[in-house]
Structures are given as structure tokens and as C-alpha cells.
Amino acid sequence: MNEVIHAWCLVNGSWMEREDPVMAICEPYGGDVRAAVANLGYEAWCQVGELPSVPVSLTLYSRETPPLQFLLQLEGNAGNVVEHIFAETLPDAMELLARWTPIARPWYGKGRGGDLRGHAEDGSGRPQEGPGRPETPPARARTRRRSPAPRPVPSPAPSAVDRLASPGA
């Protein structure tokens, strides 16, 4: 008797556990996961991060019909293990990407990936030349003020949909 393997599924914004259909049709220990994904009708839709330069690579798969229309496959850089997270709808899949994409980047700062000094990548994985984050913070100039300067009011953080609609923001 095979052990049932469960996976998390995002359904209309709520999390639940369901049987992982991919692992149900391939041998859980040593089975061909990619063949099982294809046999279930999933096709790769997008990939974020390329191993081994990132901690986790994400691949979003989709298929034409529900249930579990979207599959987010997480593959770590330290072994031969994949994890599956499913989404019922496109908005659920977009929410998964918005939440999980930061772990699939070599740099966790704003915008595109970069090296540890803050240099942006040119798309090839090599840092671009030019100014990045300074190696050491500049010395502060000493000034005297009669009263503290007014602080700007922070703008609200963009939603997941806003971040996906305008990736450079």
C-alpha cells in the first residue's frame, strides 16, 4: 500500500491540504516527477531562478482544466527533492508567485537580482559595472538643526497584483 503524499493548495486565497496528484502517479521514492507532471497535462508556464545560483528554483505549470489547474514546483539547491504547491485559479497562482519569487533570486533587495554589493545583474548572471551599494557607509556630515526635519509620510506598500503589473516598481 502506497503512502498518500499531501501538498498545500491555495483555493480562492485559503490554504488547504490535498493529495498531491503528481506524487500519486509516480513512485514517491525515485519516480520520474517530470514525466508525472507531463502525464497530468501540466505544461511549464514560467520559471524563476536557475539552480545552483539561487537557493530555490520555482517553476509554475498550468493545465487547461481544474481541479488544481496550477502547480508551483519548488526545487532546492541542496539535494534531489522537489515540493509541490497547487493553486485552483489564476489569481491564486499569481499570489503564489508574488509570495515565493523572492526566495528564487540571488539578491533579496528591490528590483532585479544582483550581487552582494548591490550591483544589478545584466540578465546573464554577471554583475553590471557601475555604482552599487557602497562597501562601507559614508561618514555622516555633522550639522546642527534648530528643529528636527519633518519626516515624509510613507506610501502604502504595493499589493501583490501591483508588483506583478509593474515589476520595476
Domain that includes residue 50, residue range: 1-108
Q: Is residue 14 part of a domain?
A: yes
3-class SS string, 13-50: CEEEEEECHHHHHCCCCCCCHHHHHHHCCCEEEEEECC
Q: Is residue 160 part of a domain?
A: no
Domain-embedded: residue 96: yes
Is residue 142, in this structure, part of any structural domain at all? Answer: no
Cα–Cα–Cα angle for 40, 56, 166, rounded to 5 degrees: 90
Number of domains composing the chain: 1
What pTM, to 2 d.p., does this model score? Answer: 0.59
Residues of the chain above pLDDT 70, percent:
60
Q: What would the pLDDT profile of 98-130 be if each residue is shown by its tens digit?
A: 998 888 887 644 444 444 434 444 455 554 443
Provide the total of helices (H) and of strands (E) in the chain, helices listed first. 4, 6
Please tell me which residue, 9 or 158, carries the higher pLDDT value.
9
